[in-house]
Copies of this chain bind each other. A is one copy, B any other.
């Protein structure tokens, strides 16, 4: 079992894989390309048994599916076991309980999310919603992160078949805590959601708006850390992706691939990360997170990885962005 360790100074959590091959290595995770694609329809036996699927026909682990969710073959966290909080000298540790799932986003060997049809994307978005709601029923999990890594430069594996990943965590990540704390402070002062206010401000100035639909707006954040960073945000106040409405997901299924295609045109098919930011699991933490429903607001972050971060950024958490978000938004509007 991995250990989930806390940096007691900064309250940052790290999953330390204490069970890997003990040979000293360069720290690279296994990136061997498998002989056949384990995610293609027909190769279901190459993955662990499926957790969920959207299918037209057939039974579990057989062809006929359109979206398929399977456990990660090399999970960093284990679904079995008790969540225990342990003191290790001066340090804090939590046992490596959690979940690692892979969402295979198409039955054919498609490698680009931007190329998927809106109908297919809608099934993926609904699958994310259902997995999130299901995992949050487990009180051991404090946060569920849903993300996509596209391209090895963005940390992606050698498996190119379009997929996303889901990790259920026994602790709330630092960046989410920072967002929650900032949103809480603002709400206490203004009695308004800070994300709603930011969105209003963006829609008024329009300098950084890439596209606005009925239910979603896409913009480059004012303090973008990296060039062409994007936020896709529901216009109505919604604290959790688990409560996204069907009609919202239907619109999002058009918005997302078109924005991705614009990024591909503007930046020549860059590697990217896509991350869903949503509220933590409220079930086990009712007292502390009471106001999250009012003050948090889910969104999708898309980060093209066109430049490497340097020591300045790693060491300080202070970023240098050579492309003003206003210029990035203008360029994306141009190609859309």
Contacts and interface: CB of A to CB of B under 8 A. Distances in A.
B321 A14 contact: yes
Contacts of A147: 310-312, 315
Contact of A315 (B28, B145, B317): B145
A3, A6, A10, A322 — which one has the most chain B CB atoms within 10 A of its CB? A322
B89 A317 contact: no
Interface string A24-54: 1111110000000000000000000000000
Given A27-B227, A311-B148, A311-B275, A319 B195 contact: no
A13, A178, A308 — which one has the most chain B CB atoms within 10 A of its CB? A308
A156 to B, nearest CB: 7
A179 to B, nearest CB: 5
A217 interface: no
Interface stretch (A62-70, A285-293, A323-331): A323-331
A280 to B, nearest CB: 11
A313 B155 contact: yes
Contacts of A313: 155
A115 interface: no
A35 B192 CA distance: 56
Interface stretch (A104-112, A119-127, A167-175): A167-175
B316 A275 contact: yes
A312 B321 CA distance: 21
Interface string A202-227: 00110000000000000001111111
A126 B167 CA distance: 46
B303 A314 contact: yes
Contacts of A226: 27
B20 A322 contact: yes
A188 interface: no
A176 interface: yes
Contacts of A12: 178, 223, 225, 317-319
Contacts of A331: 24
A103 to B, nearest CB: 13
B17 A321 contact: yes
Interface stretch (A130-138, A247-255, A266-274): A266-274
A270 B18 CA distance: 23
A154 interface: yes
Which 9 pairs show the lowest CB-CB distances between chains A and B?
A155-B310, A275-B315, A27-B227, A273-B311, A173-B316, A175-B317, A173-B318, A174-B317, A147-B311
30 contacts: A6-B223, A8-B194, A8-B223, A9-B186, A12-B223, A13-B319, A14-B224, A14-B319, A15-B318, A15-B319, A17-B322, A20-B322, A24-B266, A27-B304, A27-B322, A28-B306, A89-B205, A91-B222, A147-B311, A152-B308, A155-B311, A173-B318, A174-B318, A175-B316, A175-B317, A175-B318, A273-B315, A274-B311, A276-B315, A277-B315
